[in-house]
Structure 1
Amino acid sequence: MKNILVPTDFSNNAYNALFYITQLLKDTHCTFHILNCYDGRTKVLTKKGGEPNEKELPYALRVDSKEGLVKTKHRIVLDTGYEKHSFESISKKGDLIKTVEKLIKDLQIDLVVMGNKGITGAKDIFLGSNTTKVIHAGLACPVLTVPKEIDFKIPKNLALVTDYKNCISAEQMATIIEIAGISEATIRVMHINEKERLDKFETSNMNTLTKYLEEIDHSFHWMPKFSSKTEAIQLFLEELEIDMLIMFHSEHSLMEKIFGEPVIKKITFDIELPFLVINLPK
């Protein structure tokens, strides 16, 4: 991974995501592109403490964005100081998703990293609205979300949750393999046992995944079917002391099914773990 995009709203949660990824990649040569997107709905105060009027707003938003980026860059350099890292600041007016999509293409971004809740994030939701939008946008690169309250520790146990219904390419596995290699981690592949046996297509996909993991310490696990998939995943994460959750995302993926479960079933899906989403082509 050479180019990392880290959107920020200058919240503690956003900064924690930036700090986490710098720690994870501390021995890797890479550039962190710190992005702040703003529009007319972004809250900003004048130097006098009041809200700017309509004429002052565009200028105030631009200044607030650039000043926030300067402070963030200064803070992360002081907090880390790794010689292999460089930081670039990007201030953009406009829609977050469209901006992220364009930057992924223009800067050849390898990974997008975000806090899992923004500056107004409620405590009772798993992912904040902006983070959810970014994940569901089906970006051309993986997305890593990081909880606010966690202290960094090297992820030694990675949970890859799959239903084997998608044929995964080596390119789509690359980020997972790289993180596992950097961390000298074990990948725990989890499958929810919804039927007695896999069909031919699912078996082929499992065999392909096995080949990708040949040089990585790994294990395969079959979880019994619960009334809620989130309940099964939650139990697995706790029992195996997982440090990072990984899922594939596409229109009809297991992850989409989980997001589509009734609120009463997924209310406990409050995972305080880094969550890596690998987007699959539509």
Structure 2
Amino acid sequence: MKKILLPTDFSENSVNAIRYAVQLYKDQKCNFILLNTYTPVVYHVEYMSVGAAQFGLLDAIKEHSQTGLKNIQEKIETEFQNPNHIFSRISAFNMLITEIEQLYSENTMDMIVMGTQGASGLKEVLFGSNTIHVLKNAKCPLLAVPNNFTYEAPKELLFPSDYGIDFTEQHLEEVKNIATLYTSRINVLHVATADELTAKQEVNKQKLATYLDDTAHAFHTVHHHDIGSAIAEFQSESRINFLAMINNKHSFFENLFFGSKVKQIGLHLHTPFLIIPAKA
């Protein structure tokens, strides 16, 4: 059974991501773990000895968290009645990143699905701060769902790569899983900044081709000076409705999403985005 963690801050964006997850995996047996973390804004260890007022506040926030999770579970189970799916809930007095790391170490989940914005709703950037932190630290695949994205079957998957990664089966596991569920095509996109691939890139490309041999796929090469723009243009021209990338340190992924171009590509990204860690 697939174990999927669904962090939520009860914003509409986070609930939309949950809806996307249960529809995407409708034909797969899944345990969805709803997670809400809470820490009072005024919380400081030295204040906890002051008296009952602080504990009263903590109890109220804890109750709000537990009730919110219960309400979301009931809403989703009513809206999507699916015998393949079971739900569990975690309400944790913790920071989100710390809680996710702890849950991962306890083998609680195989992947994470969350919204890109959260309650702050900053539209000028691709991800809200929570998602950015989770993305940077996640040791399992993370699927980020854009605000207001309406579910559609992922028939055309885009997988940009600079062929700088020594691919393993684990890197491709979830992309291939989704492609199999929907008889989709995986479009491998290389944005070329040089005329030819290096010997290492050629080896990595061939290894990728071998792993994709039993899945519908196509290799594309475009020459462009700006990787973010090239990805956005390919998406719009090819009716892509699902994007997947490997988050490899010191790769073009890191430059693309944590460098100066993050806002630029953020303006164009309107599809769910699967981020696969290079190393677990």
Taking structure 2 as the reference length, what is the TM-score of the superposition? 0.92
Q: Aligned residue for 1:170?
A: 169
Question: Can you give the 5+ residue segments of structure 2 that lack an aligned partner in the other structure?
Answer: 43-51
Return the alpha-carbon distance in structure 2 between the equivalents of residues 74 and 207 of structure 1.
47
- Note the C-alpha offset of 1:259: 2.1
- Note the C-alpha offset of 1:194: 0.9
- Note the C-alpha offset of 1:264: 8.9
Instruction: Report Cα offsets for 1:69-101 as digits up to 9, x if no partner.
Output: 000100000010101100000000111111111
Instruction: Note if 1:212 corresponds to 2:211.
Output: yes
Contact 2:125-2:263 within 8 A present in 1 as well: no
Return the alpha-carbon distance in structure 1 between the equivalents of residues 184 and 101 of structure 2.
30
Describe the SS at the equivalent of 1:188: strand
Q: Aligned residue for 2:41?
A: 41
Question: Can you give the 5+ residue segments of structure 1 that lack an aligned partner in the other structure?
Answer: 43-51
Instruction: Note if 1:224 corresponds to 2:198.
Output: no
Return the alpha-carbon distance in structure 2 between the equivalents of residues 101 and 219 of structure 1.
36
Return the alpha-carbon distance in structure 1 between the equivalents of residues 114 and 220 of structure 2.
29
Query: How many residue pairs align between the two structures?
Result: 272
Q: Aligned residue for 2:84?
A: 84
**Structure 1 pair 12–268 and aligned structure 2 pair: CA distance change class (3 A):** closer
Q: Aligned residue for 1:105?
A: 105
Describe the SS at the equivalent of 1:88: strand
Instruction: Report Cα offsets for 1:27-62 as digits up to 9, x if no partner.
Output: 1111000000111239xxxxxxxxx96342211111
Q: Aligned residue for 1:154?
A: 153
Instruction: Note if 1:63 corresponds to 2:63.
Output: yes
Q: Which amino acid aligns with 1:243?
A: N
Instruction: Report Cα offsets for 1:100-134 as digits up to 9, x if no partner.
Output: 11212324411100001101121221111101111
Q: Aligned residue for 2:181?
A: 182
Q: Aligned residue for 1:48?
A: none
Aligned pairs for 1:201-280 (under 5 A) are: 201-226=200-225, 228-262=226-260, 266=264, 269-280=267-278
Contact 1:231-1:268 within 8 A present in 2 as well: no
Instruction: Report Cα offsets for 1:155-181 as digits up to 9, x if no partner.
Output: 000000110001111012111110110
Describe the SS at the equivalent of 1:56: helix
Return the alpha-carbon distance in structure 2 between the equivalents of residues 132 and 280 of structure 1.
16
Taking structure 1 as the reference length, what is the TM-score of the superposition? 0.91
Contact 1:6-1:35 within 8 A present in 2 as well: yes
Return the alpha-carbon distance in structure 2 between the equivalents of residues 185 and 93 of structure 1.
40
**Structure 1 pair 268–107 and aligned structure 2 pair: CA distance change class (3 A):** closer
Describe the SS at the equivalent of 1:214: coil
Describe the SS at the equivalent of 1:195: coil
Return the alpha-carbon distance in structure 1 between the equivalents of residues 210 and 68 of structure 2.
45
Q: Aligned residue for 1:45?
A: none
Return the alpha-carbon distance in structure 2 between the equivalents of residues 108 and 5 of structure 1.
8
Q: Aligned residue for 2:54?
A: 54
